[in-house]
């Protein structure tokens, strides 16, 4: 009984870890795509525009 509970806990932790990893990766990819799209449409702004586009936290 104890071993089964520990195994379940490990599986839950692994699932949460993988979920966080995937969500962080996809979020960073999405953010980069948004910034790139903004930069291509508004070249006159220069590279300083990306500082304001970056989401806070």
42 Cβ neighbours under 8 A, 6+ residues apart = 49
The answer, as to whether pTM is greater than 0.85, is: no
Region of 46 (left: φ > 0; alpha: ψ -120 to 50; beta: rest) is left
Are residues 53 and 34 in contact, defined by beta-carbon separation less than 8 angstroms? yes
Tell me which of 48 and 22 has the higher pLDDT.
22
Q: What is the pLDDT of residues 16-35, one digit of tens each?
A: 999 999 999 998 888 888 77
């Amino acid at each position: 009984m104890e071993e089964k509970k520990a195994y379940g806990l490990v599986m839950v932790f692994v699932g949460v870890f993988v979920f966080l990893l995937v969500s962080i990766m996809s979020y960073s990819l999405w953010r980069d795509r948004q910034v790139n799209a903004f930069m291509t449409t508004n070249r006159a702004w220069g590279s300083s525009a990306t500082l304001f586009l970056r989401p806070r936290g």
